[in-house]
Structure 1
Amino acid sequence: MRILASLCIGLIAVLHLYIAWFEIFAWTTRGPAVFTAFPEDLFESTTAIAANQGLYNSFLAAGLVWSLFIKDDIWQRRVATCFLLFVAIAGLFGAYTVSPHIAVVQSVPAVIALVLVWLGRGR
């Protein structure tokens, strides 16, 4: 169970690294193709905002990766729980403010990983 939890955490970290790359470096080039409901002229004027969001996503990824390298079981679980909760809450907020699809992409995997982290805890 712990290996599966670590695998999920790693995949969520990779997802957030991709989101960070997208928002920081590819917002104006790939953004219009991904967010087709937004007017195309919106992307250039929101580059700094998107990059800021990307930075936050990179912090989420960094925290998740960090949790994978913590040797103490209790602290590993605490740090992983903290960052997975951040991801789940960010996904719910994104679902409420932007698109319900965000909850499926962010919150659901984070909750699954949280369940696996706590099911795999040492006794």
Structure 2
Amino acid sequence: MMILSTILVALVALEHVYILILEMFMWTTPRAQKAFGTTSQFAKETKSLAANQGLYNGFLAAGLVWGLLHPNDTFGFQLQLFFLICVGVAAVYGSITAKKSILFVQGLPAFAAILAVVLANL
């Protein structure tokens, strides 16, 4: 179960690095516009807001990686759990306020990772 939890946490971290890249560096590209359902005009007008949002996704990814790499297993577990819960809360909020698919795209992997991390540390 430990290997599965590590893989799932790493995947959630990678997903948030990808979101960081889309929001910070690719926000006005067709790829990001398609992913977030925005128009070219909206993307231009909100570029700095998206970059800020991308930075927060980067912090989530950094926290998850910190939890994976921390030499103290107990504290590493706590870090992973904390940052996964943050991702889960953000996914629920985003699905209510922005786009319902966020719950599945970001929330489902986070909730699966939470379950795996908890079970691996029983």
Global fold match (TM > 0.5) = yes
Matches within 5 A, 1:63-102: 63-102=63-102
Quick check: 59-68 or 106-115, which moved more? 106-115
Shift of 1:33: 3.0
Shift of 1:108: 1.2
CA separation in 1, counterparts of 2:34 and 2:105?
Answer: 18
Matches within 5 A, 1:45-64: 45-64=45-64
Q: TM-score, normalised by structure 1?
A: 0.93
- Identity of matched residues, %: 40
Q: TM-score, normalised by structure 2?
A: 0.94
Q: Which residue matches 1:119? A: 119
Shift of 1:24: 0.2
Q: CA RMSD in A?
A: 1.2
Shift of 1:56: 0.1
Per-residue displacement from partner, 1:58-109 (whole Å, max 9, x unpaired)?
A: 0000000111111222111101000000000000011000111000011111
AA in 1 matched with 2:33: P
Return structure 1 stretches of 4+ with deviation > 6 angstroms.
none
State how many pairs are aligned: 121
Shift of 1:31: 2.8
Unaligned segments of structure 1, at least 5 residues? none
Q: Which residue matches 2:110? A: 110
CA separation in 2, counterparts of 1:92 and 1:112?
Answer: 14
CA separation in 2, counterparts of 1:103 and 1:20?
Answer: 18
Q: Which residue matches 1:33? A: 34
AA in 2 matched with 1:10: A
Shift of 1:6: 0.5
Shift of 1:12: 0.5
Unaligned segments of structure 2, at least 5 residues? none
Q: Which residue matches 1:24? A: 24
